[in-house]
Structure 1
């Protein structure tokens, strides 16, 4: 079923750099970004000037339009400035997962053909400098700007966010000194030749099935997605958005920074997520909006000092990144006061948001669906076997088409053709149901669906039920092999502080309330789930762990 109902959407044709300049003209004295922990506050006029200077520095260093600049850091100010500086001078920003280790970094730098790497010194006790030296052994004797690596033939520049000197690496000041050799007119020329369908960003998918793939996104992709995301939550220059989600992920750099910049809103930025810091910043900075993946909101709601914080300024925000539990949504609306919180759904390949609830949707739609497609975005649900459209109410694979579809995977035509069909439809791999009004419910990944004795079970349905138990803080359900039924369910439960629960008590709670075949045969209690750096639960690792437990 195609829910496109003739909605006309006038797309924003501006490039990333033009957006910054337009917002700076409209709201010069509005705060663009704030780092409360560092005491940094900059207006949009200053933000425009800072990103001009950095763009000129990159040009002065010899970086050309279309060159690939990798960035590896938590949510530092230099990351934010780099996103918009590259957007002005035309380099392609390649985002690097903060959790990467040696082999992953080596793969990304090789596969992306990055000529430049910008990085912070360390992250959560891991020395990025040591990892770079292990990947690029030549750096210790290299001339700055002229690295000659056997493994990484494209890599020439490594730039450190800071002023400590390291062999073969530029300090931030040394980078910025290159701006002096570039005129305003030269930068203006760079800005003028950019087209909105130029690739401006490469984001590597998490690689849960094989090697990560580089998703190529254009100015048009991310400018319009940021614009539409912000429109859905009515962002304006009056809003202050708290961004604790990582920049390297679309959630941070599109739903967070780009949504803010397209609307003149203030970005209140946290370098690394911490529930207490989020609550403190929302209170102190009087944030009107807050973003987060479900696990972040769960951590905030369950913080022992939650009741002490004044969150009365909160109005809206976005919960996304993984399936959003209904009970958590209700608590965010009621206990945090974010009555206009929305759910967004999508994936990196779609820039990322495909559907979103609206602030004025009926309450049941806002907590139990991922909303409707954005304006100008086509969505259909198909039978993954036959490819035929499914009727409303029948699960199938969600496909989308429109401005939001990526340009493709970098240097991977085979994977691109597998993801985007000949008619331009992006196949998401997600199982969804659409109702008569065009509201969509995501019931899981095709690969997450459990088939028990011929019955299709969607783990989300069982998770939503178990969330209602008063002792349960979080729950994840996966399938495990079974000789009789093919698959059985295993539930991994995190209990609320001070609560106790046995496997048998969980099963008793289920009996008579959900179908027998949906009651998990195996129940495990845990303190945490395997997570990506962006806060997504890695179900494939949970499945592997579950299989080991059953077979032990």
Structure 2
């Protein structure tokens, strides 16, 4: 099923290179990106995008090759991504919180040919380079405040390489990019703890966020502060891609800091500020916000965790947002499945994740039969439409397990849908929990901890905690004679996993509760956690 182009964008191109060329014609000298006092117009963005694309051609990046970016939010991230996608290569964003072994695993399995990173991650190079036969190029992106060097791997040097590429040859390569070509491969963990590469096409991304932009009311006169990381759908697709679709001005923020956020809102007259609920809660809790002019704020989009009704009201009444909406999505949906509408009541925005975006079917189904359950009853959330991923990279069995023969994608989330089609997520089949907007899969943490000396058994669950939304609680059974403590457990995890995966709470118990088949009964652990946290 394909969505007909919105009347707001009747001539929207359906590949990224054509989209940015179109935006250059539509918005010309309007600011596309403003960062650290420097400004890039839409016309300049298109020129730089083409320059980067020609340089990718020069180093031998071809249609279908995978190119990774492992760097914080910056203008060069956008130019690099657009450049590599302009030659038909597939973007592989890497989470900046990954440990080197996690990053190396993704680079290896994705067969990445070129890696763009910064000196911040250069110290991890020995391990990341290990056994990566396909990785032939490393390009160093600039770091704010650090003087450029003569390093032949530098971004500045890289951009000169395209000068040797014939224009006619490049134009042919660019025009060969098809709307159905894979544009990106974002990795998401699964219940086994093994990351899966989710493939989405140019057309899917553009159609989904064209619809998203119209629904939330993103406009060309918006100044869009993007704190959400570019390695995530929220910062990449609902971030700079949506901004380009609408002609908004992109304000990238590399690292979150409350004071810096408020300073930028005041200085740049920020109108669009999306984020996890914890972002707004931190701003509301900071009394120094009264020292800043935040009156420009117009549009807030949140989700990824439960949203208190009072938070929605406070965002409107105390932070001054005209529009607040919540949404639900996953990497396998290009980032969006459902969304509230701007005119929905605060209670609806806080208590539901909205209804399906236009052109997408949604149902809560019996996980065994796929038959839709009665409205108001719990079922597994299934959706079907143009936003269903192309599949998991090099994992046909996992793809077949997730997408039915008739096109329904089984999310693994449990939800309730009301008569009007509004969805409320109530549980997760996959045991996943969400900390500060990041999906965390207990199986991955459990696998890591089973390798720790002194651990006889372990189970991890998510428990509520403000302002993060949820954090991890690890229940650990010590081996006889072991004296490991909570600090040792956390330090071991921190050496193996990204920081957001490290359990916040560690509890030691004599034995894990098991059912007749030997599986951990996590509801019992959740009850125990509730007692301890009470």
In the alignment, which of 353, 367, 370 is matched to residue 350 of structure 2?
367
Cα distance between partner residues in 2 of 1:259 and 1:419: 27
Structure 1 equivalent of residue 221 of structure 2: 238
Q: What's 2:31 paired with?
A: 31
User: Is the Cα–Cα contact under 8 Å of residues 7 and 375 in structure 1 kept in the other structure?
Assistant: no
Partner of 1:248: 231
**1:261 corresponding residue in structure 2:** 244
How far did 1:79 drift?
0.8
Unmatched tracts of structure 2, length 5 or more: 7-11, 143-147, 435-439, 443-458, 469-492, 511-524
Shift of residue 420, structure 1, vs aligned partner = 0.8
- Secondary structure at the residue paired with 1:289? coil
Given the alignment, which residue of 319, 333, 346 partners 2:316? 333
For each residue in 1:153-172, what CA deviation from the matched residue of structure 2 results, as whole angstroms up to 9, or x when unmatched? Answer: 11110111134466xx7111
Q: Deviations over 1:315-355 (max 9, x none)?
A: 11311333333332222222111131211210000001011
Structure 2 partner of 1:152: 132
1:303 corresponds, among 286, 293, 296, to 286
In the alignment of these two chains, the number of paired residues is: 456
Does structure 1 conserve the Cα–Cα contact (< 8 Å) formed by 2:312 and 2:346? no
User: Which residue of 139, 145, 161 corresponds with 2:141?
Assistant: 161
Partner of residue 191, structure 1: 174
Distance 2:331 2:29 in 1: 33
Structure 2 counterpart of 1:471: none
- Shift of residue 297, structure 1, vs aligned partner: 1.9
What is the aligned counterpart of 1:426 among 381, 406, 409? 409
How far is the alpha carbon of 1:387 from its aligned partner?
A: 2.7
Alignment of 1:252-401 (within 5 A): 252-401=235-384
Do residues 21 (structure 1) and 21 (structure 2) align? yes
| CA distance 1:364–1:495, change in 2 (3 Å) | closer
Once the two structures are superposed, residues 137-159 of structure 1 have per-residue CA deviations (whole angstroms, 9 ceiling, x without a partner) of 6xxxxxxxxxxxxx111111011
Distance in 2 (alpha carbons) for counterparts of 1:196 and 1:300: 40
CA distance in 1, matches of 2:419, 2:384: 20
Deviations 1:377-412, CA, capped at 9 Å, x for gaps:
111110224432111111111111111111111111
2:5 matches 1:10: yes
TM (normalized to structure 2)?
Answer: 0.79
1:181 to 1:441, Cα distance in 2 relative to 1, 3 A: same
1:69 aligns with 2:67: yes
Task: Report the CA distance between 1:63 and its aligned residue.
Answer: 1.0
Matches of 2:253 and 2:172, distance apart in 1 = 34
Does 2:165 match 1:182? yes
Closer, same or farther in 2 for the Cα pair 1:491/1:201, shift >3 Å? Answer: closer
Q: CA deviation at 1:199?
A: 0.4
Residues 205 and 215 in structure 1, CA contact (< 8 A), matched pair in contact too: yes
Conservation of the 8 A alpha-carbon contact between 1:293 and 1:536: no
1:6-56 C-alpha deviation (Å, 9 max, x unpaired) = 997437561011111111101102110111xx2111111111111111111
Give 1:247 shift: 0.1
**Distance in 2 between the 1:495 and 1:14 partners?**
38
Gaps of 5+ in 1: 1-5, 123-127, 138-150, 450-458, 461-475, 479-486, 497-529
Structure 2 counterpart of 1:117, from 110, 115, 118: 115
Whether the aligned pair in 1 keeps the contact of 2:221 and 2:248 (CA below 8 Å) is yes
Alpha-carbon distance in 2 for matches of 1:27, 1:304: 39
3-state secondary structure, aligned to 1:159: strand
CA distance in 1, matches of 2:34, 2:82: 16
Instruction: Tell me the secondary structure at the aligned position of residue 251 of structure 1.
Output: helix
Aligned to 2:448: none
Aligned to 2:522: none
Distance 2:499 2:300 in 1: 18
Distance 2:374 2:186 in 1: 34
Decide whether aligned partners of structure 1 residues 417 and 490 sit closer, same or farther in structure 2, where only a CA change above 3 A counts: closer
1:133 alignment partner, one of 115, 120, 126: 126
Does the 8 Å contact 1:226/1:255 carry over to 2?
yes
TM-superposed CA distance for 1:231, in Å, is 0.8
CA separation of 1:63 and 1:433: change in aligned 2, threshold 3 A: same
CA distance in 1, matches of 2:389, 2:412: 15
Residue 59 (1) aligns with residue 42 (2): no
CA RMSD of aligned residues (A): 3.1
Residue matched to 1:212: 195
**Distance 1:155-1:301 versus aligned 2 partners, 3 A rule:** same
Q: Distance in 2 between matches of 1:493 and 1:257?
A: 30
**Hey, what's the Cα distance between the residues in 2 that align with 1:536 and 1:394?**
36
CA distance in 2, matches of 1:58, 1:52: 10
